[in-house]
Each structure stands twice: as C-alpha cells, then as structure tokens.
Chains A and B, each alone.
Chain A
Amino acid sequence: MFELKKVEKTFPNVRALKAIDFHIERGEIVGLVGENGAGKSTLMKVIYGAYQHDGGEVLINGKPVRFENPRQAMDKGVGMVFQEQSLIGNLTVMENIFLGFERQFVKFGIVDWKKMAAAARHQLAKVKLSIDPKMVTSKLSFAQRQLVELAKVLTLEERVHGDLVILLDEPTSVLAKEEVQLLFKLVRELRSRASFIFVSHRLDEVLELSDRVYVMKDGEVVDHVKTSVATAESIQHKMVGRDINKEYYREEKQLSYDPAKVLVELDAISLPGKYQDISLTLHAGEVLTLVGTEGSGREAIIRTIFGMQKPQSGSVTVKGRKITTYSADAAVANGIGYIPRERKIEGIVAGMSVYENLTLSQMGRYSRFGFLRIGDEKALAREWIKKLSVKASSEYADCGNLSGGNQQKVVLAKWRSGGSDIILLDHPTRGLDIGAKEDVYEMVRAMSADGVGVILIADTLEEAIGLSHTIAVIKDGEIQKRFDGKPGHKPSLFDLIHYMI
C-alpha cells in the first residue's frame, strides 16, 4: 500500500540513504531498528515529508507521490507522532489536536468551541483517553501527551480518503512499563484504522509489537525479517554488523586507576529539578560512566562540573580546590575539557579551520600580548592531525566539512593538546560509524593510560559497560546504584536496566 523503491537521500558529504526498499500493508505494524546514525531518522523524515528524496520513488497504492512538506504527506494519510513531542504547552488539548485545521469549526470568522470540543472528544476516545479537551496541555502527564499526539494524527482518518500510515518515533523511551503495555495494546487495536511504523532502539519492544522488522545500518536496509522467525541476537548482529566482543571496547587495555589521586569530588550536590544529593569521585586514570535514561539528570551533572550550571547546595572540588565560581572559563583553567553531545554546535566551530579550533580553548598559550602566534598554532595542528590520524586535507581545512569522527578527534585534540586531565565526554560516539567509534574507544584508553580522568555519558549501555571502571546508575536525578567495572567482573545489561527504569 505504501512503498519506497530505491529511495536515495544525499547531504553534502554524506549519502544518508542508499537505495532503500520498504513497504507496508494495510493494518500492518512494521518495526524500524538501527543504531544511532544508521539513517532511521532520515528515512522517517522522507516518509513524513520533512525531507525530499533525491532518487528512487515513493509510491502509494502503486502511484508515485512526492511530499514537499509534512502537510502534503498528511493529506495523503501519512502522519508522524513525534518523539520530542510537538504539542504546544500553553494551548488546550483540542486546540492542539486541530492546530492548523480549525477551519472546519469556523462560522463567520468565529470558532465554535463546543463543536471543536465534541470533535476532540471523539478523537480522544479513539486513544481511550478520558480527559477534558479544554484542559491546557502542559498539565497532562508525558504519557497522556503522547496519546494526545496520537489522537492528533488520527484526525487524518476523517480528513483523508484512503489508508493511514502512522510513524511512531521512539514512543516508549520515557514511558513506564505499564504505560508501554497500554500503548502497545492501543496500537494493536488501532490496526483497523491505520498501519504503523514503529521506530525504536529497544529491540525487545520492536519484536513484541511488530509484524515485520527492517534493520538499518549505514544508510542501508541490511535486513528485513518477519518477527515470528527473528531473534534479538540475529537482529543485533545485523545492526552492528559484527559481534560485539571485548575487543571492540578495548577491554584488554583497561588498566586499573590510581585511587590515591582524586581529580574531582562531588559532595552531595543538588539542583532542584535536575539532580539531588549526588556524590561522586573521579580518580586519575578512571573512566566513570553515568548511566540513565534521557532526562535522568546525567547531562546536568556533567554541565555542573564544567561550570555551566551551578548547584544549589553541596560542593564541587577539583584537584583539592573547592570551586567557588561556576563558569566554563574557570573550569577550563582547572584543566577540565568538555566534549558535548551536540558536536556540530558546541564542539567545533564550523567555518573555522582545524588549527583555529584547536587553540580556541588555549589562545593565551598561543599568543603574546594578545597577538596570536599563528605559526605555532599551525605546528600544533599538524602534530595532532598526525597523532590522531585526523582525515583533514591540512591544518587549514574547515572543521565544518570534516566527517563526524574527525570532528570528534579535533575536539578531543583541542582539550588534550591543552593539557586537560579531566575530560567530560557526552555521547562521544553519537552518529559515528563503527570505525570512528573504535577510534574514540582507543582514545579513551590512551587518556586513561596518561592518567586522565574521564566522565562519560555513553551512547549505548554496552558502550558504558565496556569502557568504564566505575558505573553510577542515575534515575530521576538520584544515584540508584554503583557498579565496579573491572574487566571480567563487569555488570550485565540487565543489572543496569534494573536500576534505570
């Protein structure tokens, strides 16, 4: 019914989708899995009209279509339930449901609110949500908002002739277990109204809910199986393209750290709404990983150590000195380096060359009386390009044009060349291909060997387990459990998840 044939999407420097074949039948639930950066989001965006494919065909009932924007896709029955919810908090539920489609309730230029409320109730009944449609959306719980979002997409049923395809993007990521089951039950019941594409990185859930699964890797569909015959292991294997083994995370290079040398000490720091009563110690040569779901407070803790957020109570001690001024420049002066998740926005400055990026955090060291010693800067850049085998044409290359992995190397080199010995890594491997990930793991081990303390928020749990000496599991801003991660005695995925959710 809905079909993609050899669909291509290319961005500058990246072929994001390579000859994607995909189809979904009426009433089907199809899973879409893949690691971060495999091309799932790009594919979804092509399906719901946010991106336009530049090769191949999108077909509905055999007829080629082209969506210039999400609205056109909606007009053909393709709707999206967003992961980061798209509801507007200060509008009522019904206003959100019919946002952009209020005309049906308008008479002589005036909205008939009663009629809209009735129509909204009808939509909410489809998702079995009994709330007042006149409620302000921000008062709803997260799960309720998700259902409102689904109800909003289901208004397509009345508007569009033909079949509906609804995309669910990571709908379960912040739901409690019972809420997930309720959602799944609902989706199964709604099969009579629509087909669903279910995108998630939780493989067990995908297998439970879907009829078929598409597995993506590096912009390609690498496998396509019926869930009745698939196993989680085989799919995982296809997603990663190799067995995940100890070698992958360089476990044999994991040395024990120096417990006598404390670099960072958090003493019962609290920041209401973000984290409470966090006490952690980072030693020289240690990789300390913060594990938790999105929004558990991990990022706020890292940002506090880097001085970008100030705790309301408790204290941060860096190398024996208690921090009094919370600012990024003070943190940098204390030898702290931050490798943020948003690499392209906070990590590198696109439009500046490799050498300009490298010295950005240490211009004082490469200048005299405010005048830059550009020759020395370039020499430094050449040295680190070689050291980390950065694939850049030269030290003049614009960092914005490098691949993700090489950008990450430049950010890392920026801190390492400046002598930072406390490195905060926030999702350092996000969006990188396997080879580039391995480079990052290699660099983490090299830093540990040099006595650098690393605080890590890993992209996957496997990565967290594989890389760390110590793991702190955080939930709702509090540390739930600490694990020791000595090689051979590492906790299992299950151990961690148990405390995460």
Chain B
Amino acid sequence: MTLEKLKKHFPWITLLTLVVFVGALDSNFLRPENLLQLAGDISTLFVMALGITFVIYLGGIDLSAQSVANMTTVLATLMLPIFGASTAVICVLIGALFGFVSGFVSTKLKVPSFIATLAVGGIALSVGQFASGQRALYMDAVLRDQSFSWLTGNIGGIPREMIIALVLLVGALILERRTTIGRAFKAIGAGELAAVASGLRVGRYKMAAFAISGAFAATAGLLFAVKLSGGSPEMANGFLLPAIVAVLVGGTPLTGGVGGVLNTLIGALIVAVIRTSMLYLEIPATAQQIFFGVVLIAAIAFTIDRGKVRTVK
C-alpha cells in the first residue's frame, strides 16, 4: 500500500491510536460515561467545524466562524426576550448573512477567502462587542427554558446537544453526498477550472458554502449561549484553531476536493481525545493552543496537495 492510499485511512488510525494511548495512561478514560461526556463536550465545536468543512472542501478557508459564534451568543441573549423561540431561526439567518458577505467579498471582489473572512470576522466581533456593551449578558432562566428546553438536558442519558450535532451531521452528509450543491462543491474543490468549463455557476456555489459555514457557526454560538445561559463577545474564544484542526486532521486538506463532513467527525473526536489527554498529562488549559497550533501546522503540511499550490506567498 502506498502512502497516498494510506493517507485516506490516516484519520481513523490516528483516532484509534490516541484512544488506546490515553486509555493506557488512565483506564478510567475508556469508561462509557467518560467517552459519552467527551463526545458531548465537543458538540459545539463540532458544529462549527462542520460548517467550516464546506468552505475548506472547496479550497477556501473561513476564519470568521469563531467571531460569528461570539456575536451570536450576544445577539441570542438580547433577542430572546423579544422573539422567543424564533430567536434560533433569526440567529442562524444572521450567521448565514455574514457568511454570504464573506463569500461575496471573496468571489466577486476577488479577495482571498482568508482575508475576506478575517475582515468579516472582525465586523462580527465588533457587532458583538457593541451590542453587549462589552459585558457578559445573562438569559432569563424561565424564558430560556420556555424557548430552548429542546436544546438542554438529556434524552436517555445522551446530551441533547450531541443529538442535535448528530442530526446536523446527517443533514450535512446528505447535502454533501446527495445534492447538486454537494457535487458542485466537490467539483470546485477538486478542479475549479473544469467546473467553470462545465458551465457551473461557481461563484454562486462558493457564496453558498460560506453562507452554510456562517449558519453553522451561528448554530454553534446559539448552542453555546443556551448551554451557558448567556452571551459575551468572548464566549467562543479559543474555538477557531481546534475547529480548523478538526477539519484538517479529519482529512479534508486545505486544498480541498477530498474529505468531507464525516472526516470532520473523526477530526473533532481526535481533538476531543487530545484535549482530554492534556488533562491527564496535566497540561494547563492556557497552554493548549500552543499544542493545537503545532498540530495544525503538521496537519496542513501532511495533507496539503502540493500539486495544486503553485506558489505560496
């Protein structure tokens, strides 16, 4: 088996190796309730990573996801007393709008997606800061339970968050594998020029991918706000790096075209196991980003398709 063929299987081999390794470190780790907790804790981050997957899948990057999620926690908290349960829909639409703007800037104004999303992320962050008045806001417990009880608690011992994340995964998977949009994403990621020459409206599909990513980021923010019963423009800080790491170590390279949302599930689990192992190894939480930064570089270097990258500037 060649390295190329092995690459495809690398993500789940990594996951398995890590689980065995951490299990050997502390046998408590392998207890079902611990594993369930671990998966539950990663749900919000996973939802964000799911959205980013679509953008990376077609060869772009979304750096605005964390800021959009931050903004959403604030907006959701502020809107809850006014709109009740519809807050969820409005939040997701606002997220999609921010994503769409990133997509528009990157496809129509030809600004590379990393800088377009960085700028739009800056706007989102500032909207969050302005709207919150730089304070942490709290949801009214009664209102929250009235509108969002379906987002909290457990069903049969499984956290609802996790169930929602899985439902979103299934939706994303259908979108990726069964719809014309998903097929177009794949074509654009694997061979954009051929997609153009086949008459695909590449610009529109790209904008759609950014909008989807924005919607997922907003969903992640909403889940977060409900879970912590409040909002702050800093609530989701520290999510971006692990979310991108989840996509990349899952096997969707920065150059796009291969991988997909199922890979991101594995990637997110890898991130979860790494996080837990750091607890066992007594690495302070503040130092975790150092590690994720290093993993990110390694993951990009290993997965990137250099044939598609002519020059790097």
A interface residue numbers (CB < 8 A to B): 306, 308, 327-329, 331-333, 338, 340, 342, 345-352, 356, 359-361, 363-364, 367, 370-372, 374, 414
**Do the beta carbons of A345 and B193 come within 8 Å of each other?**
yes
Q: How far is the CB of A13 from chain B (nearest CB, A)?
A: 13
Q: Is B200 an interface residue (CB 8 A)?
A: yes
Q: Is B295 an interface residue (CB 8 A)?
A: no
- DSSP class of B's interface residues: helix, strand, loop or mixed? helix
Q: Is B159 an interface residue (CB 8 A)?
A: no
Complex-state Cα separation, A306 to B190, whole angstroms: 22
Residues of chain B in range 190-228 having any CB-CB distance to chain A below 8 Å: 190-191, 193-201
**Do the beta carbons of A370 and B199 come within 8 Å of each other?**
no
In-complex Cβ contact of A328 among B183, B186, B187, B197 (8 A): B197
Chain B, residue nearest A336 (CB):
B199
**Do the beta carbons of B184 and A345 come within 8 Å of each other?**
no
Q: A361-B199, A372-B183 are in contact. Are A351 and B194 (CB under 8 A)?
A: no
Q: How far is the CB of B256 from chain A (nearest CB, A)?
A: 10
Q: How far is the CB of A399 from chain B (nearest CB, A)?
A: 9
Q: How far is the CB of A249 from chain B (nearest CB, A)?
A: 26
User: What per-residue 1/0 map shows which CB atoms of B173-184 lie under 8 Å from chain A?
Assistant: 000001111011
Residues in A with CB closer than 8 Å to B180 are 363-364, 367, 370-372
Residues in A with CB closer than 8 Å to B184 are 363
Residues in A with CB closer than 8 Å to B196 are 308, 328, 346
Residues in A with CB closer than 8 Å to B190 are 349-352
Interface residues of B toward A: which range? 20 to 34
B interface residue numbers (CB < 8 A to A): 178-181, 183-184, 186-187, 190-191, 193-201, 257-258
In-complex Cβ contact of A360 among B181, B200, B257, B258 (8 A): B200
**Do the beta carbons of A329 and B201 come within 8 Å of each other?**
yes
Chain A, residue nearest B175 (CB):
A370
Q: How far is the CB of B260 from chain A (nearest CB, A)?
A: 12
Residues in B with CB closer than 8 Å to A371 are 178-180
Complex-state Cα separation, A306 to B193, whole angstroms: 14
Chain B, residue nearest A367 (CB):
B180
Complex-state Cα separation, A342 to B183, whole angstroms: 22
11 additional A-B residue pairs with CB within 8 Å, beyond A349-B186, A352-B187, A370-B179 = A328-B198, A329-B199, A345-B194, A346-B197, A349-B194, A350-B190, A351-B191, A351-B257, A352-B191, A360-B198, A361-B199
**Do the beta carbons of B186 and A356 come within 8 Å of each other?**
yes
Complex-state Cα separation, A348 to B196, whole angstroms: 11
Q: How far is the CB of B111 from chain A (nearest CB, A)?
A: 21
Complex-state Cα separation, A333 to B199, whole angstroms: 8
Q: How far is the CB of A288 from chain B (nearest CB, A)?
A: 20
Q: A329-B199, A356-B183, A360-B187 are in contact. Are A348 and B194 (CB under 8 A)?
A: yes
Q: A356-B186, A371-B179, A372-B178 are in contact. Are A348 and B199 (CB under 8 A)?
A: no
Complex-state Cα separation, A101 to B292, whole angstroms: 41
